[in-house]
C-alpha cells in the first residue's frame, strides 16, 4: 500500500477546525456515544434489505443481490459551492446536447477541425442510423449523471459525463429517506435542499419531449432488461415513483410504426420510453439481432417520430472516454464560453507521444479502458503491485487505442463511519441532471465513498459505499 498522499478534507481545515458548512454536524458527532453510529448503520441495513434495495453483482454465484454499504454520516456542500457546481453542470449538459445534434447533422465541429474526424466516424459509440434524424425538442441526452471529484477548496474536476443510462438516483432518494428516519434531529439543525421531487421532475422532463405535445395525456414507461439486471431495483423504483408502467421488451410491440404495450385489455400506445437498456439491445431488427431484451421495429417507430426514446440512441458518443478530452473544446465551440468545470488532464494512448509518456509513468497514473465502466479493467498505478503494473503494461501495449490515462487525483475526503470510529475517506459525487423543456438539476446527488483506508476506488462493484449528500440552503 502506497503511503497516504495529501488531500482536501471537506470537514476539517488544516488547523483541524470544522469548516462552516460542517460546524453543526461536527459538534453533533462529537456528542454521540461511541457505538451510536454502529447501531444506526445496522438499523439502516435492515431497512434496506427488507425493502429489497439491492444491486446484483455479476459473476458471484451465491448472494447475487447485495446491499451497497451505506455510510450514515452525510456529505455537506454549501450553497455557494453548489451554485458554482450547478452552473458548470448546466453549461456542460447543454453543450453536450448541442454537440450530439451537430455530429448527427452538419458536423460543424469536425469541419472546423476542433475534433479529429476519425475519432467520431470510427467510433463504435457513433450510430450512423441516427444521422439526419432530429429527436423531439432536439434533446438527445435527457438524463445525465455527471461524475465529479473535488481536489481542493475551489477545484472540482469532471471525471465522466454518463450520457447513456446513468444509475444511482434511487440510492440518492432512499439514502435521504433513511437519514430522515434515523436522524430527525440533524434535519432540524440544518436547512437542506430537498431531493424528493426528482421523480416528478423526471416525469415532466419525459412528457416534455413526447412526439405529439398536443395530446392531453402522455403514456410514459420505463424499459428494463428485467429482474436480473444490476439496477433493477432502481428501474422499479423510478417507474413506481413516477406512477408509470415498468416494462420489459416483450411487453412492447410495434404496429404500423407505433409502439404499444401488451395489457390485459386493448393494446395501449406508448409516447415516451425511458429505456434502461443499451443501444445495441434496443431493436433486434436494427441493432444486435440476437437481442432478446429489445422490441423489433422500435427504431423505425422512433425514426418515424411516433415515440421518443430517452436517452436517444447514439448518445454514447458524448461520454466516450476518447471524446472526453475534447469536452472543453466542445463547450467553447457551442457556447462561446470558457468551461466552468475543469476536465482531468487526459492522455490518449492512441497518440504515440501520449502513450510513451503513459508507459514511462505507469506507477503514478490511472489507466482506463475507453469503453470500460464500473472500475473494471483499470490500473491505479500508485496502489498497484510491481507485477500488476508489468502485466498491465503488456495488455496496454497490445492495444493502446483502447486506453486513456489520467494523473492520480487526490480525491477529497469526508468523515465516514469505520470500525475505529469516524475517519476521513475519499469520495466522488454524481449529481443528476434532467434535460427537457428546461434543465433541472437535483441539489446534491449521489456521493460514493471508498470505505477502505487510502483507497480511491468508489465503485459499488468494488467495495465502495454511498452517503446522503446535502446541499445547504442560504
Partner 1 sequence: MLGRTASSLFWMSRYQERAQNTAKLLQAAYRTAMVTHAGQADGENWRFALASSGSEFGFTEKVGELTPRGVISYMVFDKTNPSSVRVCLETARNNARAVRTGITAELWEAINTTWIEFADVNPQSITQEKLPDFLAWISQRSHLFRGALLNTILRDDGYYFSQLGNFVERAENTARILDTQYWVLLPDNDVAGGASGERYQWIVILRALSGLRSYRFAYQDAKLKAGNIATFLILRDEMPRSLAHCYNWIDDTVEDLGEFYGSVQPSLEMGSQIWKDLKSTNMDAIYNNGLHEFLTDFIGRNNAFAHQLSIDYNFA
Cα–Cα distance, 315 to 305 (Å, whole number): 18
Q: How far apart are the first and last CA of the chain?
A: 42
Q: Is 232 in the site for partner 1 (CB under 8 A)?
A: yes
Report the DSSP beta bridge partners of residue 369: 403
Over the window 2 to 41, marking each residue x when it contacts partner 1 by CB under 8 A and - when it does not, the resulting string is ----------------------------------------
By CB under 8 A, tell whether 42 contacts partner 1.
no
The answer to whether 375 touches 457, Cβ cutoff 8 Å, is: yes
CA dihedral 281, 102, 86, 76 (to 10 degrees): 30
- Binding flags for partner 1, 187-226, as an x/- string (CB under 8 A): ---------------------------------------x
Q: Using CB under 8 A, which of 39, 262, 364, 391 touches partner 1?
A: 262
d(CA 341, CA 91): 9
| C-beta separation of 301 from 257 below 8 A | yes
State which of positions 45-64 bind partner 1 (CB under 8 A).
Answer: 49-52
12, 151, 193, 236: residue in contact with partner 1 (rule CB under 8 A): 236
| Helix-helix angle 327-335:79-103, to 10 degrees | 80
Query: Which residues within the stretch 265-304 sit at the binding site for partner 1 (CB under 8 A)?
Result: 265
For cell 492495444, the residue is 399
Q: Which element (helix H / strand E) includes 404?
A: strand 403-407
Contact 19, 10 (CB under 8 A): yes
Residue 297 or 424: which CB sits closer to partner 1? 297
Contact flag: residue 437 with partner 1 (CB under 8 A): no
Cα 230 to chain center, whole Å? 14
Residue number with CB closer to partner 1 (80 or 268): 268
Q: Is 246 in the site for partner 1 (CB under 8 A)?
A: yes
With CB under 8 A as the contact rule, the residue among 2, 227, 397, 423 that binds partner 1 is 227
Report the alpha-carbon distance of residue 95 to residue 318 in Å, rounded: 10
What would you report as the CA-atom Rg of the chain, rounded to the nearest whole angstrom?
23
264 binds partner 1 (CB under 8 A): yes
Options 23-31, 120-128, 139-147, 233-241: segment touching partner 1 (CB under 8 A): 233-241
- The set of cell numbers assigned to 342 is 475543469
Q: How far apart are CA 323 and CA 29, in angstroms?
A: 43
Residue 240 binds to partner 1 (criterion: CB under 8 A):
yes
Number of neighbouring beta carbons within 10 Å of residue 211: 17
Asked if residue 467 lies in contact with residue 175, where contact means CB atoms within 8 angstroms, the answer is yes
Asked whether position 261 contacts partner 1 by CB under 8 A, the answer is yes
How many amino acids of this chain bind partner 1 (CB under 8 A)? 22
CB of 291 to partner 1, least distance (A): 16
Cα(351)–Cα(56) distance, integer angstroms = 37
**Contact between 250 and partner 1 per CB under 8 A:** yes
Segment interacting with partner 1 (CB under 8 A) among 177-185, 256-264, 335-343, 350-358:
256-264
Q: Smaller CB distance to partner 1: residue 48 or 324?
A: 48
For position 231 contacting partner 1 by CB under 8 A, the verdict is no
Choose, by CB under 8 A, the member of 90, 177, 251, 332 that binds partner 1. Answer: 251
Q: Pick the closer one to partner 1 by CB: 43 or 108.
A: 43
Beta bridge mates, 254: 259
- Residue 244 CB, shortest distance to partner 1, in Å, is 9
- For the bound state, the minimum distance from the C-beta of residue 242 to partner 1, rounded and expressed in Å, comes to 10
Q: Is position 245 an interface residue for partner 1 (rule: CB under 8 A)?
A: yes
What pairing do the DSSP bridges indicate for beta strands 70-77 and 421-430? unpaired
Q: Which residues bind partner 1 (CB under 8 A)?
A: 49-52, 226-227, 232-233, 236, 239-240, 245-248, 250-251, 261-265
Amino acid at each position: 500500500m502506497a503511503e497516504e498522499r495529501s488531500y482536501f478534507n471537506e470537514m476539517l481545515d488544516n488547523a483541524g477546525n470544522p469548516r462552516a458548512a460542517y460546524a453543526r454536524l461536527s459538534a453533533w458527532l462529537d456528542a454521540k456515544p461511541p457505538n451510536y453510529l454502529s447501531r444506526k448503520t445496522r438499523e439502516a441495513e435492515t431497512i434496506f434489505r427488507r425493502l429489497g434495495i439491492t444491486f446484483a453483482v455479476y459473476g458471484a454465484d451465491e448472494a447475487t443481490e447485495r446491499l451497497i454499504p451505506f455510510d450514515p454520516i452525510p456529505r455537506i456542500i454549501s450553497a455557494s459551492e453548489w451554485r458554482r457546481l450547478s452552473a458548470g453542470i448546466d453549461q456542460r449538459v447543454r453543450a453536450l446536447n448541442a454537440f450530439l445534434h451537430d455530429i448527427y447533422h452538419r458536423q460543424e465541429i469536425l469541419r472546423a477541425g476542433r475534433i479529429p474526424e476519425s475519432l467520431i466516424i470510427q467510433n463504435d459509440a457513433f450510430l450512423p442510423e441516427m444521422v439526419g434524424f432530429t429527436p423531439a425538442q432536439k434533446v438527445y441526452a435527457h438524463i445525465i449523471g455527471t461524475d465529479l471529484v473535488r481536489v481542493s477548496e475551489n477545484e472540482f474536476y469532471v471525471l465522466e459525463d454518463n450520457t447513456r443510462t446513468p444509475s444511482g438516483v434511487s440510492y440518492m432518494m432512499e439514502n435521504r429517506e433513511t437519514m430522515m428516519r434515523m436522524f430527525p434531529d440533524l434535519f432540524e439543525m440544518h436547512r437542506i435542499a430537498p431531493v424528493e421531487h426528482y421523480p416528478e421532475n423526471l416525469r415532466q422532463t419525459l412528457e416534455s419531449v413526447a412526439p405529439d405535445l398536443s395530446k392531453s395525456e402522455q403514456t410514459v414507461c420505463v424499459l428494463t432488461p428485467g429482474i436480473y439486471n444490476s439496477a433493477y431495483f432502481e428501474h422499479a423504483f423510478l417507474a413506481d415513483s413516477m406512477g408509470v408502467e415498468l416494462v420489459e421488451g416483450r411487453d412492447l410491440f410495434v404496429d404500423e410504426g407505433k409502439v404499444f404495450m401488451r395489457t390485459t385489455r386493448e393494446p395501449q400506445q406508448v409516447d415516451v420510453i425511458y429505456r434502461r437498456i443499451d443501444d445495441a439491445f434496443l431493436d433486434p431488427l436494427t441493432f444486435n439481432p440476437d437481442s432478446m431484451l429489445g422490441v423489433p421495429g422500435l427504431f423505425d417507430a422512433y425514426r418515424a417520430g411516433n415515440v421518443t426514446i430517452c436517452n436517444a440512441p447514439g448518445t454514447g458518443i458524448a461520454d466516450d472516454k476518447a471524446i472526453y478530452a475534447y469536452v472543453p473544446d466542445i463547450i467553447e465551440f457551442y457556447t462561446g464560453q470558457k468551461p466552468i468545470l475543469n476536465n482531468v488532464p487526459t492522455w490518449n494512448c492512441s497518440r504515440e507521444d501520449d502513450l510513451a509518456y503513459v508507459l514511462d509513468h505507469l506507477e503514478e497514473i490511472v489507466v482506463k479502458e475507453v469503453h470500460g465502466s464500473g472500475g473494471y479493467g483499470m490500473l491505479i498505478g500508485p496502489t498497484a503491485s510491481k507485477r500488476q503494473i508489468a502485466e498491465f503494461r503488456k495488455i496496454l501495449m497490445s492495444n493502446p487505442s483502447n486506453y486513456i490515462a489520467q494523473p492520480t487525483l487526490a480525491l477529497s475526503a469526508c468523515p465516514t463511519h469505520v470500525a475505529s470510529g469516524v475517519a476521513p475517506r475519499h469520495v466522488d459525487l454524481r449529481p443528476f441532471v434532467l434535460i427537457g423543456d428546461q434543465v433541472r438539476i437535483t441539489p446534491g446527488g449521489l456521493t460514493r465513498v471508498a470505505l477502505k483506508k487510502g483507497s480511491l476506488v468508489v465503485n459499488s462493484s468494488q467495495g465502495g459505499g454511498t452517503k446522503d449528500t446535502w446541499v445547504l440552503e442560504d
